[in-house]
């Protein structure tokens, strides 16, 4: 959504540029070229074409004033620099205290972007370089990232971006909050117990006279307290049962990893764990459902999916049992489904059925529109001439946009299986190829592709995914009044692996759960539903904002740090309209083998209208793994031909990675890429490793692209 002409003052936007300049305003500019009454200048990092008035040098720095407009192009003339600006610049470079080398470096970067190193910026940078944690190199990386994103060099921007790039990973911040919340819950329980015992003591003392009678009644009261449902887990007998069940779960996990025959593993799990889960009704139901699901996968020949279902269930059980609380069930996947109250299931069934029916109807409408567009494309593609090709291209673009909206925005993708999503993604990429063929004059090739896509859409049968439906039901619960429980629920949902396998929509939903779209969605909700707060999006950022104001100092402080990290990532992912290239950075926590691990994702791509060009881009993933150490995965796409580079410092990494390469090729080709080359190299060279060992930084290091895969400089 783009909103223009909001301000009352007149704004002028020249063709092919997005920077809006104001008539009557003055700007610091770098003149790139000037001739024949026109010039190209750099204002705030953006190239702007202007018509010149008066005498202009061919290049150099100048202060220009916008004096008018001709045919949509701003007219500018050079004006003297204001005296205060001249004084301000002189202060920086002629003061008795010389500028630090890093400040001079920042000044050079700003100058390339058409900006000045002002007194306020110098003051902000001095504070940042003095007080921020990390090395000078890391701080320079942060400043460069802020400048490249065309953000102002303010304390808030620098702190947020620095935390995102070089601070404690978001996953570790969130895990620390979970541990702190557990401590708080234990304190609350102790206070509650003490209050009940105090009440019991005061009541008993008022009713009995002898100490012996008081002690006897107190013991009876204590016994009653220990027999309450929320205290059963602390009884000796219950603890023994939980410890025994946990040992069996750990043994089952080991067998699941080692035993090649899945049928034997299923029998073992059912025999050893089936009795143990009887101590909790939610566990019993979830266990039976997971076992049934795994057997169905196995009967359909999907052994990997069956093993994953079993592993997720056992991992959730082990995590819950390790926490020592039998009444806590992790709110994710099948376990959340088991915890849904029976009295609400009818409502959930009705809700999900209605949503699926509406999504199916919406898809039929989109499908009909796309098919009509493709018929029109075929009609125009049979005609000759530039006008016919232009018409066909416009209808193709509309069809592609509708398919992409189905993938990323339609509720349908919340229910259907991954095969359907891949079909739609492949159809979208094929239509993009048809558009390219039209542009090249290959009408026959374009018509062939369009006919293939038409056949696919005509025969497409929507199949609901049981796993996705269960996951959707889990998210329909009422918002938690208790912030701690709401945070734990969202934490579990956000870090768990993708439901029913990875896909474009699953990734988009994961980013939404973390709150990367929170500000936009909150504003949209406010506009659509009014300022009553109704419909406010529920995500990790929304909950962190509430926890930061909860009054609990340790939790509020950690929530603020996590929010700073999220805000920094949002700033680094801001859309740079009109610059031609786009950079993105995500630092995402992901649960892997019952632990939260961090994955850093770097994207560098050409802009294609309002989105990035997925056919020509670079993606770099930096993962922390227990067995292999840091692992870098670089994907370079050029016209959908993909080069993959795997980076790791282990000598036996090539041997270990070999079995997965063919599988990766197949999955990438399913969504429209062609893998032409796979390389395996070292992540860091020996010199770099020795340099890192000599210094002990206060924050974790993530090197730039030139050394480990990414550079924010575009």
Range from 156-170, 211-225, 244-258, 402-416 that averages highest in pLDDT: 156-170
pLDDT at 45: 67
Task: Provide the percentage of residues in the chain whose pLDDT is more than 90.
Answer: 12
pLDDT tier, 342 (very low <50, low <70, confident <90, very high otherwise) = very low
Lowest mean pLDDT among 145-154, 557-566, 600-609: 600-609
pLDDT of residue 505: 78
Q: Sorting pLDDT into bands at 50, 70 and 90, what band is 569?
A: very high
The DSSP H or E segment spanning 111 is helix 101-112
Gyration radius (Cα) of the chain, Å: 31
- For residue 146, the model assigns a pLDDT of 93
Would you say 282 and 339 are in contact if contact means Cβ atoms under 8 Å apart? yes
In this prediction, residue 310 carries a pLDDT of: 81
* Mean pLDDT, rounded, for 185-201: 58
Query: Nearest 5°: CA angle at 709, between 703 and 714?
Result: 95
pLDDT band of 327, cuts 50, 70, 90: very low
CA–CA distance, 471 with 464 (Å, rounded to integer):
12
Q: Residue 137: is its pLDDT beyond 90?
A: yes
> Would the pLDDT of 194 be above 80?
no
Residue 620, pLDDT score? 93
Residue 95 has pLDDT above 50, yes or no: no
Confidence of residue 5 (pLDDT cuts 50, 70, 90): very low
Give 603 or 275, the one with higher predicted confidence: 603
Task: Dump pLDDT digits (tens) for 62-87.
Answer: 888 888 888 778 899 988 866 544 44
Write phi, then psi, for 268 (nearest 5 degrees). Answer: -60, -45
**pLDDT at site 693:** 39
Residue with tokens 């890429």: 673
Q: Give the model's pLDDT for residue 203.
A: 52
User: What residue ranges do the domains of the chain occupy?
Assistant: 11-79, 83-167, 236-337, 344-466, 575-683
| 448 vs 432: CA distance, rounded Å | 13
Band (pLDDT 50/70/90 cuts) for residue 494 is confident
Query: Among residues 17, 71, 21, which one has the least CA distance to residue 47?
Result: 17
Query: Which of the four pLDDT bands, split at 50, 70 and 90, describes residue 198?
Result: low
DSSP string computed for 171-183: HHHHHHHHHHHHH
User: Quick one: CATH architecture of 575-683?
Assistant: 2-Layer Sandwich (3.30)
Cα 519–524–527 angle (5° rounding)?
A: 130
- State whether residue 586 is helix, strand or coil: strand
For residues 196 and 251, the model is more confident at 251
H/E segment holding residue 591: strand 581-592
d(CA 645, CA 518): 34
Q: Is the pLDDT of residue 412 over 90?
A: no
Residue whose structure tokens are 């062939």: 448
At residue 467, the pLDDT reads 57
The 3-state DSSP class for residue 409 equals helix
621/708 Cα distance (integer angstroms)? 10
Please report which confidence band the pLDDT of residue 326 belongs to, taking 50, 70 and 90 as the band edges.
very low
Residue 687 pLDDT > 70, yes or no? no
- Average pLDDT over the chain reads 74
Decide if pLDDT at 350 tops 80. no
pLDDT grade for 191, boundaries at 50, 70 and 90:
low
Distance of CA 419 to the CA centre of its chain: 23
Residue 136: pLDDT band with limits 50, 70, 90: very high
Region label for 355, one of left (φ > 0), alpha (ψ between -120 and 50) or beta (otherwise) = alpha
> Helix (H, G, I), strand (E, B), or coil: what is residue 274?
coil
pLDDT tier at 111 (50, 70, 90 boundaries)?
confident
pLDDT mean over 468-474: 58
**CATH, domain range 11-79:** 2.40.50.140
Comparing 188-197, 252-261, 263-272, which segment has the lowest mean pLDDT?
Answer: 188-197
Q: Which two tokens stand for residue 251?
A: 């043994």
pLDDT(565) > 80? yes
Which CATH number is 344-466's, of 1.10.287, 1.20.1050, 1.10.600, 1.20.120? 1.20.120
* pLDDT number for residue 13: 42
> Is pLDDT above 60 for 214?
no
User: Is 289 exposed, middle or buried (CB count within 10 Å of its CB: 0-12, 13-18, 19+)?
Assistant: middle
- pLDDT at residue 133, rounded to an integer: 93
Between 665 and 466, the more confident residue is: 665
Asked whether the predicted pLDDT for residue 144 surpasses 90, the reply is yes
Q: Which of 171-175, 386-390, 477-481 has the highest mean pLDDT?
A: 171-175
The pLDDT tens digits of the residues spanning 117-129 come to: 888 899 999 999 9
| Mean pLDDT to the nearest integer, 178-182 | 82
The mean-pLDDT minimum among 425-429, 486-490, 534-538, 569-573 falls in 534-538
**Does the structure show a pLDDT above 80 at 16?**
no
For residues 537 and 11, the model is more confident at: 537
């Amino acid at each position: 959504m783009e909103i223009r002409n909001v301000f009352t003052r007149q704004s002028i936007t020249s063709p092919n540029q997005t920077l809006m300049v104001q008539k009557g305003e003055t700007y610091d500019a770098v003149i790139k070229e000037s001739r024949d009454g026109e010039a190209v200048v750099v204002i705030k990092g953006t190239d702007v074409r202007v018509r010149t008035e008066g005498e202009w040098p061919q290049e150099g720095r100048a202060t220009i004033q916008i004096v008018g407009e001709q045919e949509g192009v701003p007219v500018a003339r050079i004006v003297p620099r204001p005296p205060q600006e001249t004084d301000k610049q002189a202060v920086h470079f002629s003061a008795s205290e010389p500028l630090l080398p890093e400040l001079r470096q920042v000044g050079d970067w700003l100058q390339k972007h058409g900006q000045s190193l002002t007194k306020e910026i110098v003051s902000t940078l001095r504070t940042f370089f003095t007080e921020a944690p990390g090395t000078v190199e890391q701080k320079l990386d942060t400043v460069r990232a802020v400048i490249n994103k065309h953000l102002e060099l303010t304390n808030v921007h620098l702190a947020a971006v620095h935390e995102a790039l070089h601070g404690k990973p978001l996953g570790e911040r969130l895990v620390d909050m979970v541990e702190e919340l557990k401590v708080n819950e234990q304190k609350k329980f102790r206070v509650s117990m003490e209050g009940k015992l105090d009440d019991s003591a005061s009541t008993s003392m008022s009713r009995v006279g002898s100490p012996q009678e008081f002690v006897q009644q107190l013991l009876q009261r204590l016994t009653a307290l220990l027999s309450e449902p929320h205290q059963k887990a602390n009884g000796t007998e219950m603890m023994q049962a939980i410890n025994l069940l946990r040992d069996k779960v750990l043994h089952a996990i080991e067998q699941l990893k080692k035993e090649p025959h899945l049928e034997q593993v299923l029998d073992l799990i059912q025999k050893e764990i089936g009795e143990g889960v009887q101590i909790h009704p939610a566990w019993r139901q979830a266990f039976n459902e997971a076992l049934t699901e795994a057997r169905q996968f196995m009967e359909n020949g999907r052994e990997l999916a069956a093993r994953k279902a079993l592993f997720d269930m056992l991992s959730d059980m082990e995590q819950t049992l390790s926490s020592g609380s039998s009444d806590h069930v992790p709110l994710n996947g099948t376990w959340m489904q088991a915890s849904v109250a029976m009295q609400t299931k009818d409502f959930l069934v009705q809700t999900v059925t209605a949503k699926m029916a509406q999504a199916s109807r919406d898809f039929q409408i989109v499908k009909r529109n796309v098919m009509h567009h493709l018929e029109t494309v075929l009609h125009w593609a049979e005609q000759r001439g530039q006008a016919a090709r232009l018409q066909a291209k416009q209808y193709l673009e509309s069809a592609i946009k509708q398919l992409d909206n189905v993938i990323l925005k339609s509720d349908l993708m919340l229910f259907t299986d991954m095969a359907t999503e891949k079909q739609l993604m492949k159809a979208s990429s094929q239509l993009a190829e048809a558009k390219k063929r039209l542009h090249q004059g290959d009408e026959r090739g374009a018509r062939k592709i369009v006919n293939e896509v038409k056949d696919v859409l005509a025969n497409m049968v929507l199949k609901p995914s049981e796993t996705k439906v269960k996951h959707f039901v889990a998210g329909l619960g009422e918002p938690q009044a208790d912030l701690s429980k709401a945070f734990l629920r969202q934490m579990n949902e956000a870090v768990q692996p993708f439901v029913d396998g990875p896909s474009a929509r699953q990734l988009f939903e994961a980013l939404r759960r973390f709150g990367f779209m929170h500000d936009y969605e909150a504003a949209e909700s406010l506009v659509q539903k009014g300022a009553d707060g109704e419909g406010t999006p529920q995500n990790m950022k929304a909950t962190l904002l509430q926890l930061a104001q909860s009054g609990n100092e340790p939790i509020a402080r950690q929530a603020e740090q996590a929010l700073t990290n999220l805000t920094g990532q949002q700033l680094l992912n801001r859309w740079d309209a009109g610059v031609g290239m786009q950079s993105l950075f995500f630092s995402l926590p992901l649960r892997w083998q019952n632990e939260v691990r961090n994955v850093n994702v770097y994207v560098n791509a050409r802009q294609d209208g309002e989105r990035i060009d997925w056919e020509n881009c670079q993606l770099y993933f930096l993962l922390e793994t227990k067995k292999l150490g840091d692992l870098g995965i670089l994907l370079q796409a050029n016209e959908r031909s993909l080069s993959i580079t795997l980076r790791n410092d282990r000598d036996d990494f090539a041997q270990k990675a070999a079995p997965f390469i063919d599988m990766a090729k197949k999955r990438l080709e399913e969504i429209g890429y062609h893998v032409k080359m796979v390389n395996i190299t070292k992540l860091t060279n020996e010199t770099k490793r020795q340099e890192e060992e000599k210094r002990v930084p206060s924050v974790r290091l993530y090197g730039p692209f030139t050394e480990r895969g990414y550079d924010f400089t575009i």
